[in-house]
Structure 1
Amino acid sequence: MTIMVDRDIAEIGKTSFIHDPREGDRSKITLAKAEGSYVWDESGKKYLDFTSQAWSNNLGAGDPRVIEAAIAQTRALTHARPTFNTPALLELTALLRSITPGDLNRIGYCLHGSSAVEMAMKLAFKNKPDAKHILVLQDAYHGRSITTMAASWPHPKNPFSAISPTFHRVPHPDAYRPRLGLTVDQDVDLCLQLMEDTITKGVDGGVAAIMVEPIMGNGGHIVHPKRYHQGLRDICDRHGILLIWDEIQSGFGRTGEMFAADWYGIQPDIMTFGKGVGGGFPLAGIFASDKLEHFEGGEDQLTFGHFPVAMAAAVACVKAIIGDNLCANARKLGDYATERLQEMSARRKLIGDIRGPALFVSCELVKDRETKEPSPRAAGEVFRRGLEKGVIFGESRYLGLGNLIKIKPPLDCSMEDMATALDVFDAILGELEAEGIS
């Protein structure tokens, strides 16, 4: 298949958009088709997409079950004001309630992850009306709205500070780089103590919630020890604080369980979801504990928040993830990828650390294994050369700040495709080492 784009029309992409092209100028290919783990550009070139299009196609792109459900819903009803129910809304809500952890039975919907995070924060303050703060982690990433950017790791030269709320960023443990020569357990103890000290001594006014990603996404794919998350749960319980888990990147099978809360065995009070739920259609929201007070009329409503087409697609997507046993496939592929990367690390000195679980796979590239100095240049070259060789790898952060390569295909990726992508990664690392690039 070749879909040609008129040259004059293609020039529009260089001059007409309000977003600075520098962020993604290496990847500004024009996508014309997607199927499963593959995408095609307008010239017909085929790529293995190991980003799942921003980790959103947990079920491979263009799954017929999702497409048919969306088409059927489009023919029946494309839009409903959020004050009305629709069959798609009720069916999706019943399905999600059947798989959410613990008592997270209240569900709110929106279209984007940033809106879901803001909904979670609003609900926290609704239930803690005397509190003034939400605590977040250093290196956190919660979105790019005004509020969620402020809750995320610092953005260079952030021009929106004047209208941004203030969040307190608290240190978190990092098993690859524990502080001051501490052991991992000692670093966990230190960070938990710093969190508690921040609650009791570091803020004026009460804390409504601690908000964390169970596995940090854009901040480095840092997999926190279970003991750390259990410690945060204990702190919240002792101080009467809500625990918000941002599972927009980790939900719907990416960790090998339906949610990271299942993988860790930790029960949050509020949990955000998004990305992988919609089968490629925009959908996000929150799960909240039955014990929490809900919103009053008008406190949280979005005109297109109950988008029936996305909800019908989500029903088909979630049923497929369950019915095709894709959590197990994610674990199988993740185990294979991790073993291959560990084998590579014996030969490729650029590999500093390998992270999981399941298809939350990533590899940190470093200039020197002893100093662990990050190598953003090597990561950028892997991304660029991967495109040339027909594989789209993920990178961490933006503007070339990160040194992490992400290997996160759809959960129904084949073992053959995983092996191909890892072969390309290995070959590129070999090229970089031969050229002295670090």
Structure 2
Amino acid sequence: MSGKDAFTTEEVAGLKSSDKITLVRARGSLVWDDTGKEYIDCTAQAWSNNLGANDPRVVEAAIAQTREMMHIRPNFDSLPRRALVKKLREIAPGNLNQIGFALHGSLAGEMAMKLAVKNRPGAQNLIVLQDGYHGRSLATLGASWPHPNNPFLPIQPRFTRVPHPYPYRSRLGMDPEMESQLCLGLLEDAIVKGVDGPVAAVMMEPIQGNGGHIEFPRSYYKGVREICDRHGILFILDEVQTGFGRMGTMWASEYYDVLPDIIVFGKGVGGGFPLAGILADDRLTWFDEGEDALTFGHFPVSLAAGVATIEAIQADNLCAKAKESGEYATQRLLEMQKRHKLIGEVRCPGLMVSFELVTDREKKTPARHESQEVYRLGVERGVLFGESRYAGLGNLIKIKPPLDIERPLLARALDVLDEVLGIIEENVK
């Protein structure tokens, strides 16, 4: 680097290896590329900047810790670890007071799986939901919705996937409650006679993120909890995408009034720094020495950033702001739905807003190409919209900016979306 602060485009000239946008700067809900073009970031960079990019409080906390000590092996305790544990216990639901840390959500998910197996001796089975997504490490890739042409199957752990409710595309035209009860019955059947041997845990996302932003009827969350209790199985909620205010509450478990045994957290907790982990019930037996340890698992800079992030989310009342902005975006989309036939269903809650695109509302035919066009045309007009799944498999557009996005920016992003949908629909006539 030629300067003290950042790389320059001149220093890396000729090294661009793809047609991806090269981002060089971010502030709040805005990012800029290497040509100077500005974008409204409705992805919060993989739903991670709940607080907004480069918040000064987080930056200063990280710099202060960097000056003291940048790396501490997990054999030792540290002041930022103790501070973040204290802060997380203050906001954790129920008695989820045992806390473990990792640097990304996939390893936090694996930590939750390991703890579940440790607390259910002899149980070799883990149950997950179809269309669920828990990461891309070797284990969590196996727990996620099927990936096409997956070359890692021979060495992946096996998970049992069970059906889940999908209110917009319910089976045989069932109403959501009836389908919820059907899927709960199928889950219990899988536990009792669908696997060989006992089940350690059921793991699910409160809202399926990469698998389609699918929210279930409230009865389903309660039902899963009751089934787990009935069979002595642990209930794991993967809140990597839903935690830290995204739903309009600190946790989705609070929103749905259901208490799991383990919460997996990540993304929004670090204020842009890599940080993830689990919250586990006090009654669970914790890991013995050496069973779960990562060289950089207690990265003190990230831990300090995490403390600052949570304090800022609380100080700025971002749960309430997420709820307000989410309601505004949802109402705008519902109004657009009256004019744009591509919009099949609008989904929320909180600032977890999305909509499914269809070419035919009666048949609910997924509009995958049109979804790609929404993203492409949005980029041209300076807005980064989120997509569902990769490789063009999805037909969902996500609007999940930082929770503190200013209303004029959110309004402008929605105006662009309105314009883009009109252009796409005009071209397919």
Q: TM-score, normalised by structure 2?
A: 0.97
In the other structure, the counterpart of 1:17 is none
The farther-off stretch of 52-61 and 176-185 is 176-185
Residue 24 of structure 2 aligns to a residue whose secondary structure is: strand
Residue 13 of structure 1 aligns to a residue whose secondary structure is: coil
C-alpha separation between the residues in 1 aligned to 2:14 and 2:393?
A: 28
C-alpha separation between the residues in 2 aligned to 1:173 and 1:106?
A: 31
What letter is aligned with 1:13?
K
What letter is aligned with 1:220?
G
In the other structure, the counterpart of 1:165 is 157
C-alpha separation between the residues in 1 aligned to 2:274 and 2:56?
A: 17
1:367 to 355, 359, 369: 359
Q: What do residues 30-53 of structure 1 show as CA deviations (whole Å, max 9, x unaligned)?
A: 111000000001111110000000
2:377 to 378, 385, 390: 385
Q: What do residues 130-187 of structure 1 show as CA deviations (whole Å, max 9, x unaligned)?
A: 1110000000000001110100000000000010011110000011011012111110
Does residue 341 of the first structure (1) align with residue 345 of the second (2)? Answer: no
In the other structure, the counterpart of 2:50 is 58
C-alpha separation between the residues in 1 aligned to 2:357 and 2:280?
A: 38
Structural mapping, 1:274-293, within 5 Å: 274-293=266-285
What letter is aligned with 1:238?
R
Q: What do residues 1-24 of structure 1 show as CA deviations (whole Å, max 9, x unaligned)?
A: x98624x9444332xxxxxx6xxx
Contact 1:4 1:42 in 2 (8 A): no
Structural mapping, 1:92-103, within 5 Å: 92-103=84-95
Does residue 78 of the first structure (1) align with residue 82 of the second (2)? Answer: no
What letter is aligned with 1:118?
E
Does residue 259 of the first structure (1) align with residue 278 of the second (2)? Answer: no
In the other structure, the counterpart of 1:413 is 405
C-alpha separation between the residues in 1 aligned to 2:172 and 2:160?
A: 22
In the other structure, the counterpart of 2:302 is 310
C-alpha separation between the residues in 2 aligned to 1:203 and 1:160?
A: 22
Structural mapping, 1:192-341, within 5 Å: 192-341=184-333
Does residue 104 of the first structure (1) align with residue 104 of the second (2)? Answer: no
What letter is aligned with 1:83?
N
Residue 169 of structure 1 aligns to a residue whose secondary structure is: strand
Residue 90 of structure 1 aligns to a residue whose secondary structure is: helix
In the other structure, the counterpart of 2:16 is 13
C-alpha separation between the residues in 1 aligned to 2:317 and 2:9?
A: 39
Runs of 4+ in 1 over 3 A off after TM superposition: 8-11
Contact 1:3 1:44 in 2 (8 A): no
Residue 187 of structure 2 aligns to a residue whose secondary structure is: helix
Q: What do residues 231-256 of structure 1 show as CA deviations (whole Å, max 9, x unaligned)?
A: 00000000000000000000000000
1:49 to 38, 41, 48: 41
C-alpha separation between the residues in 2 aligned to 1:350 and 1:10?
A: 41
C-alpha separation between the residues in 1 aligned to 2:16 and 2:128?
A: 37
* Residue 266 of structure 1, CA deviation: 0.4
Contact 1:37 1:61 in 2 (8 A): yes
1:4 and 1:294, CA in 2 relative to 1: closer, same or farther beyond 3 A?
A: closer
What letter is aligned with 1:29?
I
C-alpha separation between the residues in 2 aligned to 1:3 and 1:425?
A: 33
C-alpha separation between the residues in 1 aligned to 2:303 and 2:293?
A: 16
Alignment gaps of 5+ in structure 2:
1-5
Contact 1:66 1:279 in 2 (8 A): yes
What letter is aligned with 2:368?
P
In the other structure, the counterpart of 1:183 is 175
Residue 81 of structure 1 aligns to a residue whose secondary structure is: coil
* Residue 320 of structure 1, CA deviation: 0.4
C-alpha separation between the residues in 2 aligned to 1:10 and 1:99?
A: 46
In the other structure, the counterpart of 1:18 is none
Does residue 427 of the first structure (1) align with residue 419 of the second (2)? Answer: yes
Alignment gaps of 5+ in structure 1:
15-20
What letter is aligned with 2:426?
A
Sequence identity percentage: 60
Q: What do residues 347-405 of structure 1 show as CA deviations (whole Å, max 9, x unaligned)?
A: 00000000000100001100100000101111100001100000000000001111100
C-alpha separation between the residues in 2 aligned to 1:61 and 1:183?
A: 41
What letter is aligned with 2:251?
F
* Residue 129 of structure 1, CA deviation: 1.3
What letter is aligned with 2:15?
I
In the other structure, the counterpart of 2:119 is 127
C-alpha separation between the residues in 2 aligned to 1:280 and 1:166?
A: 32
Residue 103 of structure 1 aligns to a residue whose secondary structure is: coil
In the other structure, the counterpart of 2:3 is none
Does residue 154 of the first structure (1) align with residue 158 of the second (2)? Answer: no
In the other structure, the counterpart of 2:394 is 402
Q: What do residues 67-121 of structure 1 show as CA deviations (whole Å, max 9, x unaligned)?
A: 0000000000101011111111101100000000001000000000000000000
Q: TM-score, normalised by structure 1?
A: 0.95
Structural mapping, 1:15-34, within 5 Å: 25=19, 28-34=20-26
C-alpha separation between the residues in 1 aligned to 2:197 and 2:85?
A: 36
C-alpha separation between the residues in 2 aligned to 1:126 and 1:34?
A: 42
